[in-house]
């Protein structure tokens, strides 16, 4: 069976919406939030069909997952986000998260048979593109197509499509305004475009059936569902007082960025040995910046920060808690933290300071305690020298893909090894590290840095560096390893 014998996709927008095409990404879809939440595990259920048909769908649909930060979980019962029905002569899908719909009706229809094996791959990719929120490419205003409308109408109003005139016009002749498009690049190789024969146009414009994701498709879906990313930045040696050091984070994808202190080279100008340091992020011109700011009587010579872009993943939560002065009782500040949404099972949580004010003795210790699926207790141990502290926390699902481990170094043991061979990290992980505990002699400069080394799929080393006579009695940190 050739391509000309197979009905093409009949795209399904929500019933109360007017159709809206997209180039590579379309502004209206974003505004109406047809995308699934980042990191979603989409439950997919086959309503009928043989195991052979099911496996053929899984094989082709998985191609999107190489570039999009979503996951497919095929289920045989219960509610499903995407419900697939085999049969008929047409191919169709609901748009993005409107696929949820009534559970007793299909959200995707695939006209697969034993005769479609050679051509069905592009159809499956196309329909799953719709299910992820992609809309037809050929309805952009900048395609350059001058349609031979009588010819096109005659073709699509006859077998195998048998569309009424209104449907042909809706699917091919109604482009969208440029203001509705975010992308400015037309992609004739997109899996989301119809084939256009040269005789269908008056100016010879044409393109064939695309069978694979184009480079632009891959880039677009990666922007639509960006993967988490992590890295680190070092300021280089500077001598700054009061003025922040500002560094652009070029590899972040969203504003959802968290930073941790990985290294400090600073000293105090006061007789009380005051040390005030704050690490944070800011946004300007669509870019994310790392700001490292020394406070009163503090000179920051160098700073190193870890950063992680959590890409608004629905399973990654984070927040900030500030403490100042002496606790109401005891020697610990504590704060109950409730997750924005509860986890199915107890998550992993890491906590670390991002701003601190100390004098006479440089000492702090921050950690998470009493972790449940609904929240945890953030703890900051207190000493009279600790004037104020801002604590940042990140929670992650306990699904085997994330490895969080605290460490403590003191005396001569300023290094260690971490084994994550029992975790399902699926390759060499990226590493986020942040100092969470410190005890240093305040009469000398604070020069300390933690760093990963020799990272492999099953293990890594960590080191604590000190220099120029800095007296570090104890330093601790948290390590998050995952395949970013």
Contacts of 85 by beta carbon, 8 Å cutoff, 6+ apart: 47, 48, 49, 106, 108, 109, 110
**What is the radius of gyration, based on Cα positions, of the chain?**
28
* Closest residue by Cα to residue 96 from 203, 11, 168: 11
Q: What is the C-alpha to C-alpha distance for residues 7 and 188, in angstroms, rounded to an integer?
A: 20
Residue 13 has pLDDT above 60, yes or no: no
290, 418: one domain: yes
Domain end position, chosen among 198, 224, 250: 224
Task: Quote the pLDDT of residue 29.
Answer: 38
Q: Reply yes or no on whether the pLDDT at 322 is more than 90.
A: yes
Are 396 and 264 in a shared domain? yes
Q: Quick one: 199 and 256 in the same domain?
A: no
**pLDDT for res 31:** 36
pLDDT at position 86 is 96
User: Please, which contacts does 240-245 make with residues 24 or more away whose CB atoms are closer than 8 Å?
Assistant: 240/294, 240/299, 240/300, 240/301, 241/269, 241/294, 241/298, 241/299, 241/300, 242/294, 242/295, 242/296, 243/293, 243/294, 244/291, 244/292, 244/293, 244/294, 245/291, 245/292, 245/293, 245/300, 245/303
Please state the rounded mean pLDDT for residues 306-327. 95
387 to each of 55, 113, 171, 263, 266, how far by Cα in Å? 61, 71, 65, 21, 18
18 and 141 fall within a common domain: yes
Question: Are residues 159 and 101 located together in one domain of the fold?
Answer: yes
Q: Same domain for 294 and 440?
A: yes
Type and span of the H or E element at 218: helix 215-224
Overall pTM surpassing 0.85 (yes/no): no
Token readout for 235 is 């300021």
357-411 pLDDT, tens digit per residue, is 999 999 999 999 999 999 999 999 999 999 999 999 999 998 777 889 999 998 8
Regarding whether 252 and 118 lie in a shared domain, the answer is no
Instruction: Tell me if residue 121 falls in helix, strand or coil.
Output: helix
CATH number for the domain that contains residue 234:
2.60.40.2080
Cβ contact 6:103 at 8 Å: no
Range of the domain at 355: 229-482
Residue 199 and residue 119 share a domain: yes
Is the confidence at residue 24, as pLDDT, over 50?
no
Nearest one of 35, 30, 33, 28 to 176, comparing CA atoms:
28
155-160 average pLDDT score: 88
Distances (CA, A) of 474 to 224, 235, 354, 445, 467: 43, 24, 18, 15, 14
**CATH number where 52 lies:** 3.40.390.10
> End of a domain among 224, 258, 280?
224
Question: CA 77, CA 2: separation in Å to the nearest integer?
Answer: 35
pLDDT at 170: 81
- Alpha helices per DSSP H over 40-183: 51-61, 120-131, 149-156, 165-168
| Beta bridge partners of residue 351, listed in sequence order | 393
d(Cα 363, Cα 128) in Å, to the nearest integer? 54
Q: Which residues contact 158 (CB under 8 A, 6 or more apart)?
A: none
Q: Are residue 247 and residue 214 in the same domain, yes or no? A: no
- Structure confidence at residue 9 (pLDDT): 67
List, in sequence order, every beta strand (DSSP E) within 167-316. Answer: 229-234, 240-241, 245-248, 257-268, 275-284, 287-294, 298-309
> Same domain, yes or no, for 197 and 123?
yes
Does 35 score more than 90 pLDDT? no
Q: Are residues 242 and 378 in the same domain?
A: yes
Last residue of a domain, which of 185, 202, 224?
A: 224
Q: Are residues 242 and 145 in the same domain?
A: no
pLDDT of the residue at 126: 94
Rounded to whole angstroms, how far apart are CA atoms 193 and 292? 47
On the question of pLDDT at 197 being above 50, the answer is yes
pLDDT by residue (tens digit) across 50-96?
Answer: 999 999 999 999 999 999 999 999 999 999 999 999 998 789 999 89
* pLDDT recorded at residue 472: 94
Q: What is the mean pLDDT of residues 236-260?
A: 89
Closest CA to 395 of 370, 365, 368: 368
Mean pLDDT of the chain: 88
| The predicted structure's pLDDT at residue 403 | 87
The Cα–Cα gap between 234 and 301 comes to 11
Q: pLDDT over 70 for what percent of the chain? A: 91
Q: How confident is the model at residue 25 (pLDDT cuts 50, 70, 90)?
A: very low
Q: Kind and range of the H or E element at 466?
A: strand 459-466
DSSP reduced 3-state for 401:
coil
pLDDT mean over 12-40: 50
pLDDT tens digits, one per residue of 343-362: 999 999 999 999 999 999 99
Give residues with Cβ within 8 angstroms of 185, minimum separation 6: 23, 24, 216
How many domains, the chain?
2
């Amino acid at each position: 069976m050739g391509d000309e014998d197979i009905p093409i996709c009949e795209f399904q927008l929500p019933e109360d919406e007017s159709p809206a095409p997209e180039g590579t990404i379309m502004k209206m879809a974003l505004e109406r939030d047809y995308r699934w939440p980042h990191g979603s595990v989409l439950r997919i259920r086959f309503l009928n069909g043989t195991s052979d048909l099911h496996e053929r769908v899984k094989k082709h649909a998985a191609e999107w997952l190489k570039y999009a930060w979503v996951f497919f979980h095929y289920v045989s019962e219960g509610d499903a986000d995407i419900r697939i029905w085999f049969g008929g002569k047409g191919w169709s899908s609901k748009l993005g998260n409107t696929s949820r719909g009534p559970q007793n009706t299909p959200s995707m229809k695939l006209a697969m048979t034993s005769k479609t094996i050679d051509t069905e791959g592009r159809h499956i990719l196309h329909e799953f593109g719709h299910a992820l929120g992609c809309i037809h490419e050929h309805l952009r205003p900048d395609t350059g197509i001058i349609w031979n409308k009588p010819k096109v109408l005659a073709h699509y109003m006859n077998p195998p499509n048998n569309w009424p005139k209104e449907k042909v016009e809706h699917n091919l002749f109604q482009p969208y305004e440029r203001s509705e498009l975010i992308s400015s690049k037309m992609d004739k190789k997109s899996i989301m475009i119809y084939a256009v024969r040269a005789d269908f146009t008056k100016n010879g414009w044409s393109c064939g059936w695309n069978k694979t994701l184009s480079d632009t498709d891959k880039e677009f879906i990666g922007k639509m569902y960006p993967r988490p990313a992590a890295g680190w930045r070092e300021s280089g040696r500077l001598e700054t007082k009061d003025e922040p050091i500002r560094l652009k984070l070029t590899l972040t994808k969203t504003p959802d960025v968290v930073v941790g202190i990985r290294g400090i080279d600073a000293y105090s100008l006061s007789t009380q040995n005051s040390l005030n340091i704050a690490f944070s992020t800011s946004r300007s011109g669509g870019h994310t910046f790392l700001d490292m700011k020394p406070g009163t009587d503090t000179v920051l010579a160098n700073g190193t920060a870890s950063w992680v872009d959590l890409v608004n993943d629905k399973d990654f939560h984070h927040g900030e808690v500030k403490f100042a002065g002496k606790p109401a009782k005891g020697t610990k500040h504590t704060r109950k933290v409730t997750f924005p949404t509860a986890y199915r099972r107890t998550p992993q949580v890491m906590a670390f300071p991002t701003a601190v004010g100390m004098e006479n003795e440089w000492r702090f210790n921050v950690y998470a305690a009493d972790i449940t699926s609904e929240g945890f207790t953030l703890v900051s141990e207190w000493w009279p020298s600790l004037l104020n502290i801002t604590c940042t926390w990140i929670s992650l699902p306990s699904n085997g893909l994330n490895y969080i481990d605290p460490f403590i170094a003191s005396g001569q043991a300023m290094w260690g090894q971490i084994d994550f061979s029992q975790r399902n990290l699926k390759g060499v992980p990226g590493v986020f590290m942040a100092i969470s505990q410190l005890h240093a002699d305040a009469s000398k400069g604070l020069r300390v840095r933690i760093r990963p080394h020799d990272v492999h799929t099953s293990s890594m080393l960590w080191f604590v560096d000190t220099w120029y006579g800095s007296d570090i009695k104890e330093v601790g940190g948290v390590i998050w390893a995952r395949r970013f």
